[in-house]
Amino acid sequence: MRGWRKMRSFFMSDEELGKKDDDHKLVSGARQRHSPSWQPARGPPRRSIKRICLVFFLAVVVYLFVHNIPKLGPDNRMRRPEYAHFPGRPASSLGHPSIDNAMHPPDPDAQAQTRMLAPDTTERNFNGPFKFLNLAMSLQAISNLRGSQPENKNVLFAAASLKSAATLLPMACQMALGTKNYVHFALLGRTSINMKQLWDINGIDKSCIIIFHGMTSQNTNYLADYMKDARPNYAEISTDGRLEKSVFRGFHHIHNYMHPQVIIIDGTNNEETFFPRGLKQHLKVSKTSLIELPRFAPKSLDWITRLDSAALRTHRWPTNQVTVWNNIKVDILIQATPKSSGSLIRLLRSLSAADYTSSAIPHITIELPYQIDASIKGFLNSFAWPPSYVPNPTNERHISLRHRLSPRKSTEKETSTRFLESFWPAQPQLSHVLVLSPHTEVTPQYFNYLKYLLLEYRYSDMSRFHNWGQHLFGISLEQPSTTLDDENLFDPPLFQHPEEISAEGTPNPFLWQTPASSAVLIFGEKWMELHDFVSRTAQVKEDSDVVPTLLSEKLVSKQHPSWLEYALMLARVRGYWSLYPGKEVAEHVAVVHGELYDIPEEYAGSKSSISDDASNVAVGNIRQKVRWAPELQLSSLSVLDALPNDGNLWPLTALPIADWQGTEVSPQDFRTSAYEYELLFKGSVGGCDVETGKGQKGYEPASTQDLFCNLP
């Protein structure tokens, strides 16, 4: 009772609370205050100290009780003591990690003792929560690289395996030297190697300006002792499932701070299995472009390092959103002529020997004549496409054969119609057609060359800024030797280096208004426009009593297929030009053999492909062309080795231009000539009033309706 009173006195010492307890105080206590020996009580500060001490004591008791409460059931988050496996003591659950080991890392001393007893065994059973201890610093340091924007210049190389890192690092350093992109490298693997060792092993020095994650952007001491990366804690002893989740979360954090336009990884078996699984889970959410480099990529696909991030990223069009790298589709169209079996077999063999690891395998369509030799029948029966080295899990043959039904000779209109009906792009922005003559032969790197130029001149930031796709009709693989009328030798315009005006020009790539027909890639939108143009001009011919002069005159020699006449006319109306490789580059890409050249089927039986009034000089030029063609020998080099300017592509605005007759002109004169020819065509063929513009239709992509006012 006395203790209770003291306790009440302690808690009721407050003045306000004390008044409520006056009636319960002892009388003897009151008499003592009036006695001579009365002493004043201690002040409130001492009581406050007692109260604080008691509260603290109770808190300690509660804390100790909670943390030592008996375990009533299984709880994966609770940690139990861990013991090393001593001799004579049976190990529990060998080969199956316990719940506690899975959630908490083993004791370092016990782990070291275990390694001494079993040095060849690596425990990978930790499956607890993960933290990226070294990633935050580098991600926060790249805030000035527009990482928060969906479109930027960030390119990410990532690896989990040291072998894969050794493959990627040289390519990443090459790309960083180009200064078109901000190049990053992230290591998300199990290995415990530090970044300094990784640099030393792969010969990385100060010249490699990669941003390593998570290293600070101010990397003045590139051999710092403490170099960070994107690996989680306890990566070396983690399960594959934990590392797969950490890869997913790591890329999630990187995406939030960086928004990489493309992620480049090693696509071979050298990479850890958990790495692509975790990455592809992330890609389902982020929709980031992914490039999986095949074997020998550092040599065959080194041209990737010359592209900017826009040429590799996911593009958003009004109707869809697609990754350019993985969705570009090229169809190959071959028009075989009678008695060209040997040439066709040579072409198909060269196509089979080419490298297609950078893209989906092209689909081949072969237009066969009415008469087919037995040799080509036997060859096509055993011809395997795609080639054996290309993965083809469905065993689908990506080849179509079309055999002429009628034995009679086709007209120019019929041949052109049949040719244009052989292909139609499902996605004009991504689907393109490669037209090959049976007399063509390609090198193993021809397709990589095409894709390199296609990505640079159609999808890069520079191409979009200058709108090159509006004027570029196609990319030629051949180097022409004569003009289209075959009456004069063609001297291509020489390239003048922008920084060396006084130096002599070089035979580098150039632009020519004349399209090629033997080996040319035609863009999907331009093919659709040519298709529409041929259809409308044919209708004008049928509806007109007198065929307009522009449609009746023939400017193209009969050595070329009839559809090229329409392509030239369209290029003159629209002001289109085609990109040609130049002689030095062409011999490393493709060659058109002229020693056994046959004229197109629609012109078979013609007396001569040269006009009757051709001079002796013109005839001599043609003979010189035939003699010169066999001397061309293909030389296979890598794309960057075959191209001038150290493999860097010149902007189209820096290349010289030749008009359809082969004369070098300025860009201004070229546009003026195209505008004048457009007005002439609209007035004489399209039935338009060019002075008032009355009745003219608006321009639409992949259509020529604006050129014809007399057609619906």
Taking residues 425-454, report their average pLDDT.
96
Report the alpha-carbon distance of residue 175 to residue 210 in Å, rounded: 9
Dihedral sign of CA atoms 645, 648, 653, 657 in order: positive
- pLDDT in the model for residue 12: 47
What is residue 78's predicted lDDT score, i.e. its pLDDT?
29
Q: Strand 431-436 vs strand 519-522: parallel, antiparallel, or unpaired? A: antiparallel
User: With bands split at pLDDT 50, 70 and 90, how would you rate the model's confidence at 153?
Assistant: very high
Q: Are the C-beta atoms of 216 and 137 separated by less than 8 Å?
A: yes
Residue 676, beta-bridge partner list: none
For residue 336, the SS3 value is coil
Q: Does 379 fall in a domain? A: no
> Cβ(169)–Cβ(185) under 8 Å?
yes
Average pLDDT over residues 171-176: 95
Name, of 84-88, 576-580, 608-612, the range with top average pLDDT: 576-580
What does the pLDDT look like over 301-352, one tens digit per residue? 999 999 999 999 988 766 667 888 989 999 999 999 888 899 999 999 999 9
Among 282, 303, 325, identify where a domain stops. 325
Last residue of a domain, one of 325, 360, 377: 325
Are 366 and 400 contacting, i.e. CB atoms less than 8 angstroms apart?
A: yes
The model's confidence at residue 68, banded by pLDDT at 50, 70 and 90, is low
Give 13's contacts (C-beta < 8 A, 6+ positions apart): 44, 47
Q: Give the position of tokens 């300017």.
A: 645
Domain with residue 209: its CATH number is 3.40.50
Which has the higher per-residue pLDDT, 559 or 365? 365
Judgement on whether residues 438 and 558 belong to the same structural domain of the protein: yes
Cβ pair 335, 414 in contact under 8 A: no
What does DSSP assign to residue 684?
H
> Rounded to an integer, what distance in angstroms lies between the CA atom of residue 430 and that of residue 428?
5
What average pLDDT does the segment 580-595 reach? 89
| Cα separation, 227 vs 211, whole angstroms | 11
Q: Which domain holds residue 187?
A: 136-325
Report whether pLDDT(236) > 50: yes
In 3D space, the residue among 82, 80, 85 whose CA is nearest the CA of residue 114 turns out to be 85
The last residue of a domain, from among 325, 352, 370: 325
87 or 58: which leads in pLDDT: 58
Is-contact 344 438, C-beta < 8 A? yes
Q: Is the pLDDT of residue 77 over 50?
A: no
Of the candidates 477, 464, 558, the one whose C-alpha atom is nearest the C-alpha of residue 515 is: 477
Please say whether the beta carbons of 306 and 648 come within 8 A.
yes
Indicate whether 370 belongs to any domain.
no
Q: Answer yes or no: do 319 and 437 share one domain.
A: no
Between 415 and 89, name the one with better pLDDT.
Answer: 415
Judge if pTM exceeds 0.75: yes
Which residue would you say has higher pLDDT here, 376 or 94? 376
Query: What is the pLDDT confidence band of residue 119, given thresholds at 50, 70 and 90?
Result: very low
Is pLDDT above 60 for 634? yes
Q: Return the pLDDT at 695.
A: 79
Q: Are residues 318 and 454 in the same domain?
A: no
Mean pLDDT of 665-691: 95
Select from 559, 577, 580, 581 the least CA-distant residue to 568.
577
Residue 440 lies in a domain: yes
| pLDDT of res. 63 | 72
Q: Which of 187-196, 338-347, 473-482, 546-555 has the lowest mean pLDDT?
A: 187-196
The least confident of 76-85, 196-205, 271-280, 421-430 is 76-85
The mean per-residue pLDDT over the stretch 459-476 comes to 95
Looking at residue 229, its pLDDT comes to: 55
Indicate if 488 and 621 belong to the same structural domain: yes
Q: Which of 19-33, 92-106, 120-134, 694-708 has the lowest mean pLDDT?
A: 92-106
pLDDT at 181 over 90: yes
**Other C-beta atoms within 10 Å of 651: how many?**
15
Domain count, the chain: 2
pLDDT more than 90, % of the chain: 51
Q: Model confidence at 71, in pLDDT bands (50, 70, 90)?
A: very low
pLDDT-based confidence at residue 104 (cuts at 50, 70, 90)? very low
CB 141 within 8 A of CB 218: yes
Spatial separation of the C-alpha atoms in residues 61 and 531, rounded to whole Å: 88
Do 169 and 204 meet the contact criterion of CB atoms below 8 Å apart?
Answer: yes
Return the bridge partners of 159, or none.
187
Residue 241: pLDDT over 90 = no
The percent of residues in the chain predicted with pLDDT above 70, rounded, is 74
Asked if the structure places residue 596 within a domain, the reply is: yes
Q: Give 47 or 442, the one with higher predicted confidence.
A: 442
| pLDDT (0 to 100) of residue 520 | 98
- pLDDT interval class at 278 (50, 70, 90): very high
Amino acid present at 277: R
**Which of 440, 434, 445 has the alpha carbon at shortest distance from 363?**
434
Q: What pLDDT, on the 0 to 100 scale, is given for residue 90?
A: 40
Q: Return the structure tokens found at 242.
A: 């934990």
User: Quick check: 141 pLDDT over 70?
Assistant: yes
Quote the tokens at residue 9.
């006195």
Considering 52-56, 128-132, 385-389, 576-580, the range whose residues carry the highest mean pLDDT is: 576-580
Closest CA to 164 of 143, 187, 135: 187
Are residues 438 and 573 located together in one domain of the fold?
A: yes
The H-or-E segment that residue 315 falls in is strand 314-316
Tell me if 381 is assigned to some domain: no
Helix 412-420 / helix 563-574 crossing angle, nearest 10 deg: 70
Strands 262-266 vs 154-159: parallel, antiparallel or unpaired: parallel
Residue 420 lies in a domain: no
Dist. CA 250–CA 134, nearest whole Å: 11
Q: 230, 214, 223, 226: which is closest to 138 by C-alpha? A: 214
- Please tell me the distance from the alpha carbon of residue 426 to that of residue 319, in angstroms, as a whole number: 13
Question: Left if phi > 0, otherwise alpha if psi is -120 to 50, otherwise beta: which for 88?
Answer: left
Do 507 and 623 have their domain in common?
Answer: yes
Residue 574 within any structural domain of the chain: yes
pLDDT reported for residue 340: 85
The answer to whether residue 4 scores a pLDDT higher than 90 is no
Tell me the backbone φ, ψ of residue 647, rounded to 5 degrees. 85, -5
Res. 448: pLDDT tops 90:
yes
How many Å apart are CA 208 and CA 674, to the nearest integer?
47
* pLDDT for 96 beyond 50: no
C-alpha 680/C-alpha 549 separation (Å) is: 11
Residue 117 clears pLDDT 80, i.e. is over it: no
Q: Could you tell me if 321 and 437 lie in one domain?
A: no
CA distance between the termini of the chain: 112
Mean pLDDT of the chain: 80
Residues sharing a CB contact under 8 Å with residue 531, sequence separation 6 or more, in sequence order? 420, 424
Over residues 10-16, the mean pLDDT reads 45
Give pLDDT, residue 137. 79
The answer to whether position 562 is within a domain reads: yes
**Neighbouring C-beta atoms of residue 344, cutoff 10 Å:** 24
Closest CA to 398 of 377, 384, 378: 384
In this prediction, residue 622 carries a pLDDT of 53
DSSP 662: S
19-33, 41-55, 209-223, 225-239: which has the minimum mean pLDDT? 19-33
Q: How far is the C-alpha of 598 from the C-alpha of 335, rounded, in Å?
A: 12
- Summarised one tens digit per residue, pLDDT across range 496-541 is 766 665 555 566 899 999 999 999 999 999 999 999 999 999 999 9
